[in-house]
């Protein structure tokens, strides 16, 4: 360093200016600090089943251990033949139209593929319609790629279904795609065919692509059936995402996929872009790809959790009833996944900043929730609870939350 020169600083890219990922944000950092200081924090913030005692089927672990030595090298960029063949069959069973093996891509979780798809698609200023509340990676990836995330509202009064009028009102000349998260994180909503049909009609009218994040498609309760929107749109170009993180409780293995379907001829150039980025990342984690066939074709242990008597089902019923019995809290009953997105009476509690609310709850009761703003929800009146912990733990959390709300800012 020449004498007298000022010290050079390294700043983050301005591309990150509009990027938010609060599921692992400042409140989580504060919880980590408290833990390091020796405090126990009850974590109701991350949708990661394994730490809560949900185990992957034994055959999946056995399969990976058997194949480990054979999966030391890179695979083809899109993935192993066996994995893609199994995913293709899964997609065909769900009636995704016009799907061959070349339309299937594996990824290091759905996360990598969401990022890849947005990077390959967007020019500066291109708009993508994203739900509010959303799983925030979608908004972050659109903004990081130079696009603009435009949020359409999901309506709490109507089971958290997308508000189609709002969606329509947000379409402009720059809109390229609609993103759907179905089943939804954070609301636990499952969209029925009538709602999906209206979205397909809108996409058709305005020539939009559809991205559908269906990572919770095997975690649906109450005897309901998940319908893939792509199955209703053979004339549109759709990309459908799913994976094993949630259904097989192996979020740490990092395996997800995407399937292109419908009218691929209109997306030839975009698919070239997707292929280029897929090649550039070489391939996704090969040991994790090697168990896809066994996982999709084998014992679906998740089915035992989502029926009456099963853990996820019973924990859902418990948390739904318990939250609704707290004065000033209301929540829509989730139909799928393992999240609930309760509403707080902000006037009663005088809440203007949901991050402060999350921090106050953390400091007072050592409970970690995620504020609604972390899901691009623009009012300070919601938060998300992950109801993966056992009922005893959830009960403890609800008791503490009830006590907290009995004195909070009153």
Q: Which residues bind ligand PLP (CB under 6 A)?
A: 47, 109-111, 135, 181, 185, 213, 215, 243, 245, 251, 256
* Token duo for residue 328: 């000033």
Which three-class secondary structure state does DSSP give residue 370? Answer: strand
Work out whether the CA dihedral 19, 25, 27, 30 comes out positive or negative: negative
Closest CA to 250 of 220, 191, 295, 299: 295
Least Å distance, CB 339 to ligand PLP, is: 8
Question: What's the min distance (Å) between Cβ of 9 and ligand PLP?
Answer: 33
* In the complex, residue closest to ligand PLP by CB: 109
Q: Is-cis flag, bond preceding 133, omega within 30?
A: yes
Q: How many CA atoms lie within 13 A of 166 on its CB side?
A: 13
Shortest CB 220 distance to ligand PLP, Å: 14
Using the minimum distance from each CB to ligand PLP, give the nearer residue, 109 or 389. Answer: 109
Question: What CA–CA distance (Å, rounded) separates 164 from 101?
Answer: 33
- Residue 387 CB, shortest distance to ligand PLP, in Å, is 14
As given in the structure block, the two tokens for residue 233 are 């749109």
Q: Which is nearer to ligand PLP, 143 or 326 (CB)?
A: 143
Nearer to ligand PLP (CB atom), residue 50 or residue 359: 50
SS3 193: helix
Cβ-based nearer residue to ligand PLP, 57 or 243? 243
Distance from C-alpha of 349 to C-alpha of 271, rounded to nearest angstrom: 50
Cβ atoms of 354 and 373 within 8 Å: the answer is: yes
Residue 23 CB, nearest distance to ligand PLP (Å)? 8
Shortest gap between Cβ of 357 and ligand PLP (angstroms)?
22
Residue 284 backbone phi and psi in degrees, to 5 = -90, 170
Beta pairing class for 339-340 and 42-43:
unpaired
d(CA 267, CA 253): 31
Q: Least distance to ligand PLP from the beta carbon of 245, Å?
A: 3
Q: Which is nearer to ligand PLP, 134 or 163 (CB)?
A: 134
* Separation between Cα atoms, residue 245 and residue 238, nearest integer Å: 22
Strands (E), 231-358: 237-243, 256-262, 329-330, 339-340, 343-344
CA-based torsion, 292, 298, 301, 307: positive or negative: positive
Q: Which two tokens stand for residue 290?
A: 């090697």
Q: Which one, 341 or 408, has the nearer CB to ligand PLP?
A: 341
CA distance 257 to 244: 9
Tell me how far apart the alpha carbons of residues 339 and 386 are, in angstroms, rounded to a whole number.
5
Minimum distance, C-beta of residue 115 to ligand PLP, in the bound complex (Å)? 10
Query: Alpha helix (H) ranges present in 94-174?
Result: 109-121, 137-144, 164-169
Work out how close the CB of 244 gets to ligand PLP at its nearest, in angstroms, rounded to a whole number.
Answer: 8
């Amino acid at each position: 360093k020449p004498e007298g020169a000022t010290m050079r600083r390294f700043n983050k890219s301005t591309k990150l200016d509009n990027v938010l990922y609060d599921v692992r944000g400042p409140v989580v950092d504060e919880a980590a600090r408290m833990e390091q200081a020796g405090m126990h924090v009850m974590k109701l913030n991350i949708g990661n089943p394994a730490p809560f005692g949900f185990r992957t089927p034994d055959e999946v672990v056995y399969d990976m251990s058997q194949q480990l030595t054979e999966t030391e090298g890179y695979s083809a960029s899109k993935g192993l033949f066996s994995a893609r063949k199994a995913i293709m069959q899964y997609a065909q069973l769900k009636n995704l139209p016009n799907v061959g093996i070349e339309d299937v891509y594996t990824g290091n979780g759905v996360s990598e593929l969401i990022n890849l798809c947005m990077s390959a698609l967007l020019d500066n200023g291109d708009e993508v319609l994203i739900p509010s509340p959303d799983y925030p990676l979608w908004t972050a990836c659109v903004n990081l790629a130079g696009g603009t995330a435009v949020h359409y509202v999901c309506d709490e009064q109507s089971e958290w279904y997308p508000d189609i009028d709002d969606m329509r009102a947000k379409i402009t000349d720059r809109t390229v795609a609609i993103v759907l998260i179905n089943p939804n994180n954070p609301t636990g909503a499952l969209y029925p065919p009538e709602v999906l049909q209206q979205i397909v009609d809108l996409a058709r009218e305005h020539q939009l692509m559809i991205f559908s994040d269906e990572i919770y498609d095997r975690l649906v309760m109450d005897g309901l059936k998940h319908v893939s929107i792509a199955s209703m749109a053979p004339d549109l170009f759709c990309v459908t995402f799913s994976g094993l993180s949630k259904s097989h409780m192996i979020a740490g293995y990092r395996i997800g996929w995407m399937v292109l379907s419908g009218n691929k001829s209109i997306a030839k150039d975009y698919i070239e872009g997707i292929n280029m980025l897929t090649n550039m990342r070489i391939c996704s984690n090969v040991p994790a790809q090697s168990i896809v066939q066994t996982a999709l074709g084998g014992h679906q242990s998740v089915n035992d959790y989502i029926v009456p008597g099963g853990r996820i089902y019973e924990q859902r019923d418990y948390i739904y009833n318990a939250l609704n019995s707290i004065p000033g809290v209301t929540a829509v009953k989730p139909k799928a996944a393992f999240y609930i997105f309760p509403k707080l009476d902000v006037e009663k509690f005088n809440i203007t900043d949901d991050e402060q609310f999350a921090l106050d709850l953390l400091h007072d009761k050592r409970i970690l929730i995620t504020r609604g703003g972390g899901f691009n929800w623009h009012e300070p009146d919601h938060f998300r609870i992950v109801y993966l912990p056992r009922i005893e733990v959830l009960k403890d959390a609800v008791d503490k939350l009830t006590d907290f709300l009995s004195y909070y800012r009153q």
